Amino acid sequence: MTDTDHSAPSAPDIAARAAATSLLLVAESTDRLLRTVAALDPEALAGPSALPGWTRGHVLAHIARNADSLVNLLDGARTGTDIPQYATPETRDRDIEAGAPRPLDVQLADVRDSSVRFTAAAAELDEKAWTAEVRHRAGFTFEASEIPWKRLMEVEYHHVDLAAGHTPAHWPKEFATAEFRRLAAKLDGAPGLPAVQLVAEDTGERARIGDRDGEPALTAEGPVRALTAWLSGRSAGDGLQVHQGGRQLTDARSALPELPPLG
């Protein structure tokens, strides 16, 4: 016998550590987003974002309201109650529309203040609360420890969607790599999607998406950020090389298949 405790960490401990790691990334990503917003021309808010039908103002209003919706889930995990992420789908959409035309200083303050509320709510959870099941607005349930990563996704993806100079090339490698794995797993065996072999030349990550029968006809290779950008719908294949039968195709963008919506 020794005095050293070699017991495996408990599920609450694992959940709390995962949440803490993601929260650090959220803080860094939020700081980058706030700097981008602060540098915007006030007139740019009414300009188009990279999301069809949304201005930059819509994107910022959505980012702020998403933070508050995740506060609801954090509060539900802490109190053991089923608090809806949004009161109703109509309320979510109405709040985004109402927030979109606000001036830059109001938008900036809203994104900043809602992020502070999110951080404060997360700080109130103990280890056990991070293992609680919460309900996504789409209806499925997931562990509360995943909430910080979901916030990171919202900040990083929509920072790109803002179309204000932040591109997939600016994504933290840890984020891009984890999202590459997640998105590729969701598209593995996707009905109607031709098989494609994916190779991240900078990280060594490999994955296969689409039809599981036979060998993939196409191989897409490039930096993990470029692969994740394509998988997430943030690019048409920029920065990727596509090979077919050992031959590099001239235009990767036209050679790659159309991806199904991920929901």
Q: How many domains does the chain have?
A: 2
pLDDT value at position 1?
42
pLDDT value at position 242?
96
180 and 248 share a domain? Answer: yes
Strand 196-200 to 206-209 pairing: antiparallel
Per residue in 45-93, pLDDT (tens digit) is: 999 999 999 999 999 999 999 999 999 999 999 999 999 999 999 999 9
228: domain range?
173-255
Of the residues 166, 183, 209, which one is the last residue of a structural domain?
166
Percent over 90 (pLDDT), the chain: 91
Distances (CA, A) of 50 to 47, 67, 152, 159: 10, 21, 19, 10
- What integer is the mean pLDDT of 6-17? 89
Convert 28-62 into a string of H (helix), E (strand) and C (coil).
HHHHHHHHHHHCCCHHHHHCECCCCCCEHHHHHHH
Domain assignment of residue 260, yes or no: no
d(CA 158, CA 149): 14
Mean pLDDT in the chain?
95
22 and 128 share a domain? Answer: yes
pLDDT score of 251 more than 90: no
Per residue in 186-225, pLDDT (tens digit) is: 999 999 999 999 999 999 999 999 999 988 999 999 999 9
